[in-house]
Structure 1
Amino acid sequence: MRKYLLFSLLLAACSTSRQSVNTSDVSQLRLLYKHVIPYNTSFNGTTVGGLSGIDYDAARNVYYLICDDRSEHEAARYYTAQVPVNGDKVTFTAVHSLPMPDGHPFPATKDLAPDPEAMRYNPHTDHLVWSSEGERIVNAKDTILKDPAIYEITREGHFLDTFPIPAQMHMRATNNGPRKNGTFEGLGFTPDGKYMFVSVEEPRYEDGPRAGLQDTTAWIRIIKYNLQTRQPIAQFAYRLSPIAAAPVPADAFAINGIPDILVLSENQLVIMERSFSTGVKNCTIRLYKADLSHATDVSSIQSLQADTHFTPAAKKPLFNFESLHTYVDNVEGMTLGPKLSNGHSSLICIADNNFSDKEETQFYIFGIE
């Protein structure tokens, strides 16, 4: 399927692990291929599914794919794969367990299991960094609070270190701090290797309501880290778009949040927003360009709802997957890939099937023109 689609973004040159993109003549995304991995595909004794993050290592021409299995099917893990941009079959090449600090795989117990969501390769350190959303269970039977986390590991899956998280990101039993399943979904590095950005999927309780059908005040935070000191040094507010479609029935679950980001420079990000509504088959995946050049550092603001004296990230729409006119599932990851035969760059997106036979593990391979 080939279709030309408006992609009104001038992408900046990206990380040294990717091919750079000419900033002067990017005007379109062209869908080259859509590839679906069959349900319950097995690889090296594991079930391939739940793929929620993807990154490209140009030096080795390999992709890293993190799986959001909370050690329920098999141990929490990530894969390496070949993802051809010419339409050939996606091939998985290795699988590694995600390690706890003691080096052992994560168990399935709710107080210890991670919720893996994003993984990036840092070519400046030759390491992988991945994020977990943690856990927040507060009910009459149990209170389980596990903070979101950012881990650094070797490419072979050996634990190295963690990054400290801002005080606002600690889980709490009261309606304060992050929401369940609403924390660290996206991350990325600046091309010079000096900074890392981590995005929060949904608003913290203090920062206001979740996205609604007509809500325009759903604020999330994007956290900036200094990679030399490993400390968070700034936070920026970003306003989510409304949920794309009404759920069926009307009071059923619906969400819009940020499943991934691409860091183009210290001030330029591509933001992916994913909207899902019960009873609606397609997810609505929208890409935006975020500019942090004039955004306020909101690190000291405890409530973005109560204190509105800040300038958020500037936001421009870039691309809507609805233009593809194909079934779009739970797309959660994106990466810039290799150069194409025509010299243009590629963009690869991946959908998480949630280990469900009603959903699909999808790869979208685009040419950037």
Structure 2
Amino acid sequence: MKNILYVLLVFFIFYSCTKKKEVELVFLDEYVVKDSLEINNSFIGGLSGIDYANGFFYFVVDDSKSPRFVKAKIDIQQNKIKSVDFKNVFYLNDTTTAFYNENFLDLESIFIDKETQEVNFVSEGSILKGKSPSVFATDSLGNFVCSYTIPDYFIPNKIVKLKHNGAFEGSSNSINGQGFWVAMESPLIVDGDEPTFKKASSPIRITYFDKESKKATKQFAYQLEHITKPSKGNINLNGLTSILEYKENHFFIIERTYQSGYGALGNIIRIFEATADETTTNVLDIESLKETVFTPLKKRLVFNFEDVRGELTEGIVDNIEGISFGPKLANGNESLVLVSDDNFQLYGKQLNQFILLEIVNK
């Protein structure tokens, strides 16, 4: 009997030590910045991407007529957002190079290079105008520094077909510090169908760029969820809005479903954990995922905003388009700060909404 108990004890200890800890996200707080807040002759709105570096938060503004980014302090105390204090606005109007004039800057994401302090941007371009998505870096004032070479299948032409407003959307520094990730919002037409109410293959591409070579060196496919809420209006879509590598080859990915006909309640926002392992296919050199057998990133739902609607302003889950690490919490756990793009209120009432989450390992 003692031997049996000993074996069971050893097995329990071994199982406890080897069992993979699953990450969970816990809602802590919401903070809403008032409408029409102005700083440096710029209204605060259209906040489409977020990053945290050197004690400051950086936000990219989704305004192709006046591309810019904003620097701010967010005071987090006792698991609450006490204030959001916008400090500076920086416009991308460098005239010493032709890059800004030659490219359509529809900025969707921002990340700070922790080594060089360069500010990096992801732009989805304008497919209707034949302007490519792009990835480029500026100095701290917004002056152009360099751009990255993107694979040919991201460059719109008579052969390559991308969805307008569905190209590059999210980005994240890599944990290894040697590169970064850029994610599509929607599938390439040659890769799969856009999500509908039917379960279909809707893979988007998540591409790793190497900082030294300034080229893409690997890429994973990620399958978007289908739409689950009944249709009321003529807009029913689901896509990726943001990505964050929180551990090597482990990502938090935000999917946003938007449906017209529901008013201010038209968004369904979910956060998934996506993981790459030795079975995940590197699809960088595959021109059409429709015609190829591949293994996408594994995914698991870790947070659904439907579960916290009752704790949000008027039950609104707004257009969440940015996710970033924040400062460590008092208990030592990592925090996440999320931000919504209010589209400058062009489509009705929306919020400059900030969300504070906690990363918990179970």
Query: Which category of TM-score, normalised to the shorter sequence, fits these structures?
Result: 0.7 to 0.9
CA shift for structure 1 position 36: 1.1
Paired residues of 1:98 and 1:105 also in contact (CA < 8 A): no
Structure 2 residue aligned with 1:47, among 5, 25, 43?
Answer: 43
Indicate yes or no: 2:189 matched with 1:205.
yes
CA shift for structure 1 position 30: 3.1
Q: Deviations over 1:67-97 (max 9, x none)?
A: 00111xxx21000011122332211000001
SS at the partner of 1:322?
Answer: helix
Match of 1:32 in 2: 28
Match of 1:192 in 2: 176
Match of 1:126 in 2: 117
Match of 1:83 in 2: 74
Identity of aligned residues (%): 30
Structure 2 residue aligned with 1:65, among 41, 46, 59?
Answer: 59
- How many residues get paired? 329
Match of 1:10 in 2: none
Structure 2 residue aligned with 1:275, among 257, 269, 275?
Answer: 257
**Distance in 1 separating the partners of 2:152 and 2:98:** 28
> After TM superposition, what 4+ stretches of structure 1 lie above 6 angstroms from structure 2?
23-26
1:197-346 to structure 2, matched below 5 A, reads 197-249=181-233, 252-280=234-262, 281-293=265-277, 294-307=279-292, 309-325=293-309, 326-346=315-335
Q: Deviations over 1:209-242 (max 9, x none)?
A: 1111123311111111122211111221111001
Paired residues of 1:145 and 1:173 also in contact (CA < 8 A): no
Letter of the structure 2 residue corresponding to residue 124 of structure 1: E
Letter of the structure 2 residue corresponding to residue 48 of structure 1: I
Match of 1:17 in 2: none
Letter of the structure 1 residue corresponding to residue 343 of structure 2: N
**Distance in 2 separating the partners of 1:227 and 1:68:** 25
- Name structure 2 gaps, 5 residues minimum: 1-18, 310-314
Match of 1:169 in 2: 154
Structure 1 residue aligned with 2:90, among 64, 71, 96?
Answer: 96
* Shift in CA distance, 40/173, structure 1 to aligned 2, threshold 3 Å: farther
**Distance in 2 separating the partners of 1:105 and 1:226:** 21
Match of 2:344 in 1: 355
SS at the partner of 1:125?
Answer: coil
* Shift in CA distance, 233/314, structure 1 to aligned 2, threshold 3 Å: same
**Distance in 1 separating the partners of 2:33 and 2:27:** 18
* Shift in CA distance, 184/27, structure 1 to aligned 2, threshold 3 Å: closer
Paired residues of 2:193 and 2:200 also in contact (CA < 8 A): no
Indicate yes or no: 2:151 matched with 1:151.
no
**Distance in 1 separating the partners of 2:220 and 2:21:** 29
SS at the partner of 1:191?
Answer: coil
**Distance in 1 separating the partners of 2:294 and 2:100:** 40
CA shift for structure 1 position 106: 5.5
CA shift for structure 1 position 105: 10
TM-score, length-scaled by structure 2: 0.85
Paired residues of 2:260 and 2:266 also in contact (CA < 8 A): no
Paired residues of 2:103 and 2:132 also in contact (CA < 8 A): no
Q: Deviations over 1:141-195 (max 9, x none)?
A: xxx2100000111122121000011011001256x33210111111112222112
Letter of the structure 2 residue corresponding to residue 361 of structure 1: N
**Distance in 1 separating the partners of 2:25 and 2:192:** 34
Paired residues of 1:216 and 1:239 also in contact (CA < 8 A): no
**Distance in 1 separating the partners of 2:321 and 2:152:** 26
Q: Deviations over 1:245-298 (max 9, x none)?
A: 23313xx01111111100134422111111111112241111111112221111
Letter of the structure 2 residue corresponding to residue 77 of structure 1: R
**Distance in 1 separating the partners of 2:56 and 2:51:** 9
Letter of the structure 1 residue corresponding to residue 184 of structure 2: V
* Shift in CA distance, 103/84, structure 1 to aligned 2, threshold 3 Å: farther
Larger radius of gyration: 2
